[in-house]
Structure 1
Amino acid sequence: RPPAGPRARRPGCATAGATAVQRYGQGGRVVLHMGCLAEQALDDTCIAKHALLLAHDRNLFAVVVRSLEESQNDKAAARLLGAFRGHVWEAVQCAHASRVLEAGITRLRPADCRFIAQEILEAPVAPNGPAVAARLLSGSRVLQHIVEMFEAAEIETLVSALLAEAASLARDHFGRCALQHVLEYGTEVQRRRLTESLAAQAATLCHEGQAGALLATALRCAPEESRDRLAAAVMAVPSVLPRLSRTRRGHSLPLALVEGVAGPAVAQAAVQELLKHAPALRGGRFGRRVMAPYWPTLKKGICGGA
Structure 2
Amino acid sequence: MNDGSIAMRHRLTLLGVTAAALLAGSILGIPGTPAPARAEALAPNPAMRTLAYGPDPLQQLDFYPPQDPKASRAPLVVFVHGGGWKRGSRTMDRGSLKQRHLTAQGYAFASLDYRLVPAARVEDQAADIATALRVLIDRAAALGIDPKRIVLMGHSAGAHLVALVGTDASYLKGAGLSPRDLAGIVPIDGAAYDVPAQMSDGPRIMQQTYRQAFGTDPARQRALSPTLQAAAPNAPRFLLLHVMRPDGARQGEALEKALRAGGTNVAREGFAGTGLAGHMEINRRLGDPGYAPTVALDGFLRTAFAR
TM-score (norm 1): 0.28
TM-score (norm 2): 0.28
**Larger RCO, structures 1/2 (Cα 8 Å, 6+ apart):** 2
Flag the structure with higher helix content.
1
